[in-house]
Amino acid sequence: MDEMVSRRLEALLARVQRPARYVGGELNARVKAWRDGVTTFAFCFPDTYEVAMSHLGMKIIYDLVNRQEDLLCERAMMPWTDMMDGLKEEGIPLYSLENKVPLSRFDAVGFTLQYEMSYTNILHMLELGGIPVKNADRGEDDPIVIAGGPCACNPEPLYAFIDAFLMGDGEEVTLEALRLVGQGRREGLKRAEILSRLARIPGVYVPALYEAAYHEDGTLAAFMPTDPAASLPVEKRVALNLDEASYPEDIPVPFTEAVHDRIVLEVMRGCTRGCRFCQAGMLYRPVRERSAEKLFELAQKLVDATGYEEMSLSSLSTGDYSQLNELVQGLNARFANKGISLSLPSLRIDGHLEEALSDTARVKKSGLTFAPEAGTQRLRDVINKGVTEEDLLRTVGEAFAQGFSQVKLYFMIGLPTETDEDLLGIADLARKVAGAYYATPKGRRARGLRITVSCATFVPKPFTPFQWAAQDTLEEIKRKQSLLRGALNIKNVTFNWHDPEVSYLEACFARGDRKMADVLYQAYLRGCRLDGWSEQFDLDSWFLAFRDAGLDPQFYANRERGRDELFPWDLLDIGVTKAYLWRENELAHAAKTTPDCREYCLGCGLTRFEGACAG
């Protein structure tokens, strides 16, 4: 960044909210020199700095790439509206935090796709960074734009904007893709040749090398490669040994508070429970654990490097980690005297956690979070949650006896086969949890009972047994929320609910095809941005974008799919087969459960990945 632009940026930062979002220079930030032979990569997070700095995946890739002598990674995040407008007014391109380099100067620019409602942010970041928004408009000198993350499992709504998608675990494929891009640049290869070579890397999907055909009713008729380099399906990448997988030993510590301001230890990846609504439980199979010894080593290095006073054990289901009690006891033995507290998110409520809860509470009793998901046993069986009311009440009783008094309960509304009786069961459970608190002897329970009931709107997601299901209409979701507001008017109970309009659009993009790219582009032209933030979300503009694109959102959100319909995401092989998902869908409608696949193999298909599971 030249001196004149730097002065304009300094003046701009003096008048925007939270300028610490945009200055970089944090403790443990990696500032590497730009030099010949080094491939440069901008890791872009399509949400604000506070959200980005809480994201574990960004920390892993940032650390991994910067450990390589021939690669360089810098960070960029979505600016807030005042900074966006200021950058445009001052003619300053969106830049990286480390060396203040415009995005357009990097060899590759990558986005992590964590949430469908961040998609407009990607388009705005490209524009602000001086990169043509549509991949068809990019020239030979423009960066190769890549993307990965959970939402990449259905890349089609972004096919017109992303050059290449990296499918599955990113540790190995990111390095391979960046090195290929760098080599292609140094050899003077045309952009098209670089993309063709990228498509030959296992786990890489290059949308320009495929074409889609449609039936008259708008459903997908066929999906075909147009280049010999393009495989179909694209098989996801899997890092099977987490002890050998890269993990940061220090992380940038922000000057301003992040959403999750603490050390995060990823104890395991994947889940075997088979909840039928849960996309992550299918995408991240198989289950892989880090050893307690490795986690002790990482924890010590991260404590020494950051000074954080809180540590979180992260996974889809931390209570299922096979060495949980050993790990919690060992971490407390090492760090409790330093005032470092532990938090255990994503706890299962069907296991005895008294020992872990007791050890966790030694330093600070934070709130506990449990996810019954549904209010009645029938509906919990439909979704294969595998827990009972007795499990929940026993577990919260153990927590209350350990001195916990704040409990969060997560539910979903709009699940397939749901009735009003299931909804009212949520309020009934909340009353019984309160009863478990008052049943705890006064000498053992803490004061200040607080129960928070949060209800998200069910979104049918790709690669789940419910990928065929219709989402409830907006009118029906609002009726259900109103019913719950009345039923949850209970002492010490707070009811939170998600905006159903946002969940409606999330469903459209989650199951969208290539035509949804037109909707996204029209919404971007209409100024839609930061759509995951309620104060920025503009439903009317989105409906106008659908109109401009000639599409009906109900086709994507509110339509039940037929068994044999070809899905846009069928281009990806995640290991779990479509036949298995359909079988689980049928069992759901019969309210029949299936066991944890650690007990025995249920034939989901993962055995095709050598060494992936024991089934």
Q: What is the pLDDT of residue 589?
A: 97
List of residues 6+ apart from 312 with CB closer than 8 A: 260, 262, 263, 264, 265, 342, 343, 344, 345
- Helix, strand or coil, per DSSP, at residue 109: strand
Nearest by Cα to 109 from 125, 120, 86, 93: 125
Q: What is the pLDDT of residue 351?
A: 56
- Res. 275: pLDDT tops 80: yes
Q: What is the DSSP string of 198-258?
A: HHTSTTEE-GGGEEEEE-TTSSEEEEEESSTT--SSEEPB----TTTS---SS--B-SS--
Q: What is the dihedral of CA 352, 356, 362, 368, to 10 degrees?
A: -70
- Helix, strand or coil, per DSSP, at residue 371: strand
pLDDT in tens, 524-555: 999 999 999 999 999 999 999 999 999 999 99
Q: Helix 474-487 crosses helix 420-439 at what angle (to 10 degrees)? A: 30
Q: Residues of 341-367 as b/e, b for ≥16 C-beta within 10 angstroms?
A: bbbbbbbbbbbebbebbbbbbebebbe
Q: Which domains does the chain have, with CATH numbers?
A: 3-235 (3.40.50.2300), 262-498+576-615 (3.80.30.20)
Q: Where are the alpha helices (DSSP H) in 346-491?
A: 354-360, 377-382, 389-401, 420-439, 474-487
Nearest by Cα to 134 from 514, 473, 479: 514
- Res. 402: pLDDT tops 90: no
DSSP 384: T
Backbone angles phi, psi at 237, to 5 degrees: -90, 145
The whole-angstrom distance between residue 22's C-alpha and the CA centroid of its chain comes to 23
Q: What is the mean pLDDT of residues 506-517?
A: 98
Q: What is the pLDDT of residue 353?
A: 55
CB-CB contact of 396 with 453 (8 Å): no
Q: How many CA atoms lie within 13 A of 278 on its CB side?
A: 21
CB-CB contact of 240 with 213 (8 Å): no
- Helix, strand or coil, per DSSP, at residue 166: strand
List of residues 6+ apart from 494 with CB closer than 8 A: 450, 451, 452, 453
Comparing 347 with 464, which gets the higher pLDDT? 464
The whole-angstrom distance between residue 351's C-alpha and the CA centroid of its chain comes to 26
CB-CB contact of 558 with 471 (8 Å): yes
- Res. 373: pLDDT tops 50: yes
User: Structure tokens of 303?
Assistant: 């404590």
DSSP 293: H
Please state, for a pLDDT cut of 70, what percent of the chain lies above it.
95
CB-CB contact of 130 with 101 (8 Å): no
∠ CA 305-316-332, rounded to 5°: 45
Please state, for a pLDDT cut of 90, what percent of the chain lies above it.
82
Backbone angles phi, psi at 11, to 5 degrees: -65, -40
Q: Which residue, chain included where needed, has tokens 């034939």?
A: 603
- Res. 369: pLDDT tops 90: no
Q: Give strand pairing partners of 237.
A: 168
Backbone angles phi, psi at 607, to 5 degrees: -65, -10
Q: What is the pLDDT of residue 363?
A: 45
Q: What is the pLDDT of residue 615?
A: 45
Backbone angles phi, psi at 160, to 5 degrees: -85, -5
β-strands 288-289, 268-269 pairing: antiparallel
Q: What is the mean pLDDT of residues 123-134?
A: 98
Longest CA span, the chain: 75
The H or E element spanning position 108 is strand 108-112
Q: What is the pLDDT of residue 614?
A: 47
β-strands 310-314, 210-214 pairing: unpaired
Q: Where are the alpha helices (DSSP H) in 462-561?
A: 474-487, 500-510, 516-525, 539-549, 553-557
User: Structure tokens of 67?
Assistant: 């450990």
Given pLDDT bands bounded at 50, 70 and 90, which one contains residue 355?
A: low
Given pLDDT bands bounded at 50, 70 and 90, which one contains residue 461?
A: very high
- Helix, strand or coil, per DSSP, at residue 410: strand
How confident is the prediction for the chain on average, in pLDDT?
Answer: 93
pLDDT in tens, 320-338: 899 998 999 999 999 988 8
In the sheet with 450-457, reading across from the earlier edge strand, the strands are 368-373, 406-413, 450-457, 493-497
Q: What is the mean pLDDT of residues 24-50?
A: 96
- Res. 477: pLDDT tops 60: yes
Given pLDDT bands bounded at 50, 70 and 90, which one contains residue 192?
A: very high
pLDDT in tens, 276-331: 999 999 999 999 999 999 999 999 999 999 989 899 998 988 888 999 989 999 99
Q: What is the pLDDT of residue 317?
A: 84
- Helix, strand or coil, per DSSP, at residue 13: helix
pLDDT in tens, 195-219: 999 999 999 999 999 999 999 999 9
Q: What is the pLDDT of residue 345?
A: 67
Q: What is the mean pLDDT of residues 26-46?
A: 96
Q: How many CA atoms lie within 13 A of 507 on its CB side?
A: 31
List of residues 6+ apart from 411 with CB closer than 8 A: 371, 372, 373, 374, 375, 426, 453, 454, 455, 456
List C-alpha distances in Å: 47 to 53, 77, 176, 279, 447.
10, 6, 26, 21, 38
Q: Where are the alpha helices (DSSP H) in 67-203?
A: 81-90, 119-128, 170-186, 191-199
pLDDT in tens, 93-110: 999 999 999 999 999 999
Q: What is the mean pLDDT of residues 360-382?
A: 79
